[in-house]
Structure 1
């Protein structure tokens, strides 16, 4: 089997940074690339759209950590920054019947019908945050003041997490997805995150409510073997992290793109494209997740002419696949909100594919669509307060965004008014 002409594994920058230049260079060499993970651990990344689509649904690719060869050979140190992705007990690290069991317990909370029922609450939270922004003077950090509290508020309400924990949970979640964190800090963040969510679970067990945590506890208590305590906490960890980090980056990246491409914003305002089109194009063009860990071939596997050895930790290269010219055309690097309307458009993979497709996709789309539409209606002349290249990047090669989004809001349009 052929191997692309990589001179050496691509060393993923633990401090993050914009992935697109490296992605383009690697894609020019092939759809699959050897990568060096923190600690000198050998891995692979699947970058090409077609190759990634095939890999994500391949029957001989697993998620269970028992297939992680380097871990079982003792080459992964405690506090390794990506260890939580591999070892947390929940849907994202389960296969087969275990995956179906865990997913079924959560899926009822994220059906399109249930999510649509959340729309009034999402709109209410959005309007309250915009009211707070309207009272602000000068430059504000839109990520901290708007893009973060909206999805964090929604997922915490769904899980029944007390409001007093939300800032703490975001800080801990940020440390869990960071790839430049030291071992001691990583271990401390994981212990604290488990402790906070354990306290929430105890509270919900003592005082059940109409929330997902109470429903999961009821399933555990009624079914006995349906959900263990470790799986309960692991599921809560996954829902908190995935339930706000992805949407936070999605909203942040969309605002950045629209501020930099006023012609595209004008298309939306004219009705030539919808806010849903904006969300889909951002998911493709600047995916909120760049390299998502991990999958493991259960045998040596050929992917687009490259052999991935059994037990190799493989990253799903969502940000690269979104700009793969072989799939999205010669203008794949161009931000174009009319692209999703094309009859022949290839759907992006940024929310996954196959059995592990993101359960929260309908909710992320709802939150982002409502947030962007109402933000730009209220502040039509919103602009970045720093040049794009000066925005500090997220300290992770998993998440793809910036840490801060300083903006000038302009004079707000009163609620119910019209821009322009």
Structure 2
């Protein structure tokens, strides 16, 4: 008599990162503790929502009202992606245990002001649970911050579960709006930290000067020439030299931050040369983190939108000649699916009553079960 096949253990993960380009969603099966992405869907932000989310990263008029409505609009995008995934799979909502919905980070100031600080992700998980008829797990970062941590990055534990390899140290680099590096050593003592800007500055500069949301494949940067004096100023940012645990966001790496470093450039400076310099800056910040904290690594796996930037990937490979630099596709998980899958994994950790953070990564007082659950 044959035994029955294991029951699926289905979760949906949603991610809208600091790149502000839209929502990525995955339907994942974790049966027998494996991680198999069954379906992927995405939806881009319309220009109005993207502009509002970007504006809410800084203080402004009537921002509590605007933030609440932006959260509702964001959830409409989330719900649409969930419905796309269910439709692709031919499944009813009841087949999915939970949706992990990170929300949209608009402020990230842990350990500041009063010693605890805060991290703020726009979301309306109650509305999402109503729209989707699936339990929602959200607000992953705040418990870690309450426990004295940075609240970020939260993905290193997940990276270890899917990319870790016996007998060698692997590095996993996520290049979203901000870049974060996970160091996955053979002994399992995982570390990780935000290493600097990812796409945020490159995208913002490209949008300002070309009207395009991003520099496709880094072609515009490749047409420019790196400005050594500007690069030196960018690399002088103190955050880059801070030891982990550390995290950052648009609170630091904004166009205002960049603007203060562009003062004094000759008026005839070509914008494509600034783009080339921003791309080199991003690559250098990531490579420096890898060289300082992953000295015995053999492989760098890159995910996030930055993995699709050929110029940026080429510069990483040149700066890290001792490492095999490739996208996470080589490990079976395409770059745009990794972060969403991580939040499906974190939602599963929450429902199982298991910690989602690593204290040595975030600096929290210890492991904590993360997130708040909004039942279907």
Q: TM-score, normalised by structure 2?
A: 0.28
Please state which structure has a larger fraction of its residues in helix. Answer: 1
Q: TM-score, normalised by structure 1?
A: 0.26
Please state which structure has a larger fraction of its residues in strand. Answer: 2
